[in-house]
Amino acid sequence: MKKGYLVLQDGQVFEGFRFGGPADAVGELVFTTGMCGYLETLTDPSYAGQIVMQTYPLIGNYGIIPEDFEGACCVRGYVVREWCEEPSNFRCQGDLDAFLRDRGVPGLWGVDTRELTRIIREHGVMNAAICDEVPADLTAVKTYAVTGVVEAVTCRAASAHPAEGEERFRVSLLDYGAKRNIVRELQKRGCTVTVLPAQTSAEEVLAAKPDGVMLSNGPGDPAENVYQIEQIKKLLGKVPLFGICLGHQLTALAVGGGTYKLKYGHRGVNQPVRDLEGVRTYITSQNHGYAVDGTSLPVGKVRFINANDGTCEGIDYPDLRAFTVQFHPEACTGPKDTSFLFDQFVALMKGGDR
């Protein structure tokens, strides 16, 4: 076993053992609390630029299952307490070590992830390095920033995905780092989906005459995506629109609202979200480091809030035929409490209300 180190930007060092890719890496260290779904985490493009740490101690026990991938593996590094060297699952087609090694992603196991989580919760998200030797100079770690990640993870060309059964609607999905299950959820509801690169102009989108437009999840600081925000401004009010995660944040910026960085974000599959227009609280899957300032919106109304910290989790724009949510109704690993939002999007395309 080869020793390795996780070095935080404040100089704290955690010793562990290397697996996965052999290279060193610097990234923004974040933690996720899911007890399952490590495959979906590793293949979620929203983690681009980040070193992901799992709070659940045993990772890799059901191996690698390509059918469960949500996209490309974009993480900068992977940190776990214990990884399973001999996975057991009838669908397994490989192990975690080989998966990371094939993609050049460095991993570190045997680390005190409990203490690391406490540090991040207390001090907030910070940069870190996975390395073979503790560097004497931490400048590269301290100055690292997650930038340009939407352009890095978006698709390079448009692609069409036919509806299951009879086609009822045509949806254009702007890919800011989209998870594959967004497409699947729409296909199941009779939608033919055209996935478009993030650089696609509003004029190109509208020229195809879609019945609705979806804005996907994605990584990074939403305010950095100036071009995408301008295109959403042109789309609002022209066609029914549904935004998820980064798409939610970009829409708020497009109408003149604001966003801000959370102390350590919401990442996991057990985030409670309260519907302000009803009596329900939903358990949701989330992965984001930024939030919308619900008090900054000149139009629209906050529909959902996080039951833990009161942050904005969803906004309705009834006059613009649009709605957005911060959480993930398409989450493959569950919970699936909020998948009904896709039905509401279909209803909006029919010409009705949510």
Which of 185, 248, 330, 332 does the annotation list as catalytic?
A: 330
DSSP string over 278-300: SS-EEEEEEEEEEEEEGGG-SSS
Active site residue 328: yes
Q: φ and ψ at 95, to 5 degrees?
A: -120, 165
Residue type, 11: G
Residue pointed to by tokens 């004029």: 203
Separation CA 65–CA 206 (nearest Å):
37
Number of Cβ atoms within 10 Å of the Cβ of 173: 26
Separation CA 315–CA 299 (nearest Å):
10
Which of 74, 131, 245, 332 does the annotation list as catalytic?
A: 245
Secondary structure of residue 25 in the 3-state scheme: strand
Q: Are 53 and 73 in contact (CB under 8 A)?
A: no
Active site residue 245: yes
Tokens found for residue 333 = 């690993």
Nearest alpha-carbon partner for 282 in 255, 308, 320, 253: 308
Q: Give the ranges where the chain is alpha helix by DSSP (H).
A: 38-42, 96-102, 113-123, 139-142, 149-153, 180-188, 202-207, 226-235, 246-254, 340-350
Task: Give me the active site residues, please.
Answer: 245, 328, 330
